[in-house]
Amino acid sequence: MQIGIVGLGKMGANMARRLTRGGARVVAYDRERAARDALAGEPRVTIENNLANLAAHLAGERVILLMLPAGSPTQDTIDQLLPMLSSGDTLVDGGNAYYKDSKNRALQLSQRGLRFVDAGVSGGIHGLAQGYCLMLGGTPKSIEIFEPFAKILAPGPETGWLHCGPSGAGHFAKMIHNGIEYGMMQAYAEGFALLEGRKEFDIDLARLAETWRHGSVVRSWLLDLSVEALAADEALAAAAPLVADSGEGRWTVLESVEQGVPAPVISMALMARFSSQGRSDFASRLLAVLRARFGGHAVTRRS
Our answer to whether residue 174 is catalytic in this structure is: yes
Contact 162, 154 (CB under 8 A): no
Q: How many CB atoms within 10 Å of residue 172?
A: 24
Q: How far apart are the first and last CA of the chain?
A: 62
DSSP β-ladder status, 45-47 and 2-6: unpaired
Q: Is 303 exposed, middle or buried (0-12, 13-18, 19+ CB in 10 A)?
A: exposed
Crossing angle of helices 264-276 and 169-197, in 10° steps, is 70
Q: CA 238, CA 83: separation in Å to the nearest integer?
A: 49
Our answer to whether residue 190 is catalytic in this structure is: no
Q: Residue 121: which of 92, 91, 95, 83 has the closest Cα?
A: 95
Which of these is catalytic: 174, 196, 199, 248? Answer: 174
CA max distance for the chain? 77
Which of these is catalytic: 42, 147, 151, 181? Answer: 181
Helix (H, G, I), strand (E, B) or coil at 277: coil
So which residues are the catalytic ones?
174, 181
